[in-house]
A and B are shown apart, each in its own frame.
Chain A
Amino acid sequence: DTQMTQSPSSLSASVGDRVTITCRASQGINNYLAWYQQKPGRVPRLLIYNASTVQSGVPSRFTGSASGTEFTLSISCLQPEDVATYFCQKYNSAPLTFGGGTKVEIK
């Protein structure tokens, strides 16, 4: 089964900073990679799919990119409302696998 390794597990940044989260797949997944945001006490929300397609309604400061089996979620200008845990997920085939999550906090 494909493993998804997400890093860092947590980060603290200032409002306005650019934040980058990485997810690495143990084998190729043809860019079938999604990113979810889960705010404290809330349900996960789909942000990005196909590695770089932004879901409707998601602010433009969220972008995704891919290079082989390495995937990146970037937040261009961190806002207080972006405090959340972010998860990557591969969906090319079952089993679905989530990354371990990255908790983003404001410094």
Chain B
Amino acid sequence: EVQLLESGGALVQPGGSLGLSCAASGFTFNTYAMTWVRQAPGKGLEWVGSISGSGERTYYADSVKGRFTISRDNSKNTLYLQMSSLRAGDTAVYYCAKDRRTGWELLLNYWGQGTLVTVSS
């Protein structure tokens, strides 16, 4: 059974940094691209960025480029999102999601339960 478990969400001050993790199980982690998606309270879904199975290729939304970094440790079956220079507009539930098939598809068929990041003073 595929499981994705995010952790690390917290209250952080504007300008601060925070790291999120997503522990994966139930599939061959290093063969699937992974994606972070966020959802501000009461709002829609916003793509944050994606990383290939090997970790060699990453893409980011313009809204987070230069501030957020996606990485993965395939030996630990874990996906990461390192966030810096956080702003109030980054307040959201952050989901990690798995591609439907191996390779690079960016079609998300499993989602974690999400972790809440609140940026406020």
Residues in A lying within 8 Å of B, measured CB to CB: 32, 34, 36, 38, 43-46, 49, 55, 85, 87, 89, 91, 93-101
Q: Is the CB of B111 within 8 A of A96?
A: no
Q: Tell me which residues across on chain A come within 8 A of B95, comparing CB atoms.
A: 43-44
Q: Report the separation of the CA atoms of residues A55 and B100 in the bound assembly, to the nearest whole angstrom.
A: 10
Q: Tell me which residues across on chain A come within 8 A of B50, comparing CB atoms.
A: 94, 96
Residues in B lying within 8 Å of A, measured CB to CB: 35, 37, 44-47, 50, 59, 61-62, 95, 100, 105-109, 111-114
Q: Report the separation of the CA atoms of residues A44 and B106 in the bound assembly, to the nearest whole angstrom.
A: 15
Q: Is the CB of B106 within 8 A of A100?
A: no
The smallest beta-carbon distance between A54 and chain B, in angstroms, is: 13
Partner among B46, B106, B109, B114 whose Cβ is within 8 Å of the Cβ of A55: B109
Q: Tell me which residues across on chain B come within 8 A of A85, comparing CB atoms.
A: 44
